[in-house]
Amino acid sequence: MTDADEVESVFPGVYKLADPKNPTKKLLATRNLTPGKVFYGERTVRIKINNENVEFRFWDPFRSKLSASILNGLVFFPFAEGGSCLYLGASTGTTVSHVSDILGSTGKLFAVEMAPRVARELLEQVVKHRVNVVPIIADARHPERYPSIYGTFPVIYCDIAQPDQTDIAIANCERYFPDKKGSLFLVVKASSIDALEDMNKVVSEQVRKLERSSFEIVQKIDLEPFDKKHAMIVARRT
Ligand SMILES: C[S@@+](CC[C@H](N)C(=O)[O-])C[C@H]1O[C@@H](n2cnc3c(N)ncnc32)[C@H](O)[C@@H]1O
């Protein structure tokens, strides 16, 4: 059992904890909303806090670009307990599960995934166990067709690895930001947009596209060494 004093808060709902295998090393973790249940083979640790045994799940930066972004210096983190998020490109739910931990049981995450096989895994492995994740099996290119969605989202996360990913992200923000204002986390996979072009050039083009659509760029983060030729663009419309 690790000591509560060793829990370092990084952002609301995100912590740094000593690695039980190598106590000099600190790893990112979120508080498990579903104690006893893990989602992608991640390790857990239990810590006694105010007489309660709290389970944390380590958040692997090699498996999640949001975790990689935090370790590479992310400064803005609008995810918090009770909040809501529209997540495009949920895949089997690795990052979704950690964002779900952060939003907590009073928050809501709407997870959009288009590929049926992947979506089946998302439903079986994550949605079934988490009260705050609502699946949307749909193509993010058509936000107007999402079934079972209600309201607007102050935060949109987009990780879909498509050539037109920035246009797709903007279309979703246009439709689902409250009053067209909010925060966008856009994962840029440079090779999906232009396999031959230099990554910095591809990222700069996406930045210009966002600026033309009235976004202010908060931060650009290179995700090396966790993901090669990937960047996170954090942008805001105010
Ligand atoms: C790189 S993976 C996402 C990984 C995930 N965000 C994570 O961190 O755990 C990209 C996912 O986007 C999905 N995708 C690609 N194009 C899409 C679209 N137009 N609409 C919805 N999902 C899409 C793919 O099926 C794939 O599962």
Rounded CA separation 58/70 (Å)? 13
| Rounded Cα–Cα distance for residues 28 and 51 (Å) | 23
pLDDT, position 6: 78
18 lines ligand 1 (CB under 6 A): no
- Find the helix or strand (DSSP H, E) in which 219 lies: strand 216-222
Closest atom of ligand 1 relative to the 162 alpha carbon: 16
Say if residue 70 is in the same domain as residue 187.
yes
pLDDT > 70 in the chain, percent: 98
Q: Are residues 163 and 216 in the same domain?
A: yes
Q: How far apart are CA 161 and CA 117, in angstroms?
A: 17
CA distances for 197 relative to 176, 192, 203, 204, 208, angstroms? 32, 11, 10, 11, 16
Of 14, 43, 58, which residue is a domain's last?
58
State in Å: Cα 47 to ligand 1 middle.
Answer: 34
Domain hosting residue 125, numbered range? 65-237
Whether residues 33 and 84 fall in one domain: no
Q: How far is ligand 1, taken at its centre, from the CA of residue 46, in Å?
A: 32
Cβ of 95 below 6 Å from ligand 1: yes
177 and 106 assigned to the same domain: yes
Q: For Cα atoms 88, 183, 210, give the angle at the middle one, nearest 5 degrees.
A: 85
Same domain, 100 and 13: no
Tens digit of each residue's pLDDT (9 = 90 or more) over 26-82? 999 999 999 999 999 999 999 999 889 999 999 999 999 999 999 999 999 999 999
Q: Indicate if ligand 1 lies below 6 Å from the C-beta of 114.
A: yes
Q: What is the pLDDT of residues 104-152, one digit of tens each?
A: 999 999 999 999 999 999 999 999 999 999 999 999 999 999 986 778 9
pLDDT for 148: 67
Nearest CA to ligand 1 atom 25: 115
Which of 114, 166, 192 best tests ligand 1's pocket when mutated (most atoms within 8 Å of CB)?
114
- Residue-level pLDDT at 2: 53
For residue 115 and ligand 1, the question of a CB distance below 6 A is answered with yes
Determine if ligand 1 sits within 6 Å of the CB of residue 172. no
pLDDT band at 195 (very low <50, low <70, confident <90, very high): confident
Residues 160, 227 within the same domain? yes
How far is Cα 192 from Cα 230, in angstroms, rounded to an integer?
A: 10
- 114 shares its domain with 17: no
Quote the number of domains for the chain: 2
Residues 168 and 221 grouped into a single domain? yes
Q: What is the mean pLDDT of the chain?
A: 94
Confidence of residue 197 (pLDDT cuts 50, 70, 90): confident
101 and 21 within one domain: no
- When pLDDT is cut at 50, 70 and 90, the band that residue 23 belongs to is confident
How close is the Cα of 161 to the center of ligand 1, in Å? Answer: 7
Q: Is the pLDDT of residue 1 over 70?
A: no
Query: Mean pLDDT across the stretch 88-117?
Result: 97
CATH number at residue 20: 3.30.200
CATH of the domain at 170: 3.40.50.150
Residues 202 and 161 in one domain: yes
| Cβ atoms of 93 and 111 closer than 8 Å | yes
Same structural domain for residues 82 and 52? no
DSSP-derived secondary structure letter, 167:
H
Cα–ligand 1 centroid distance for 168 (angstroms): 12
30 and 111 both lie in a single domain: no
Q: What angle do CA 162, 164, 169 make, to 5 degrees?
A: 95
pLDDT score of 4 more than 70 = no
Q: Are 220 and 231 in contact (CB under 8 A)?
A: yes
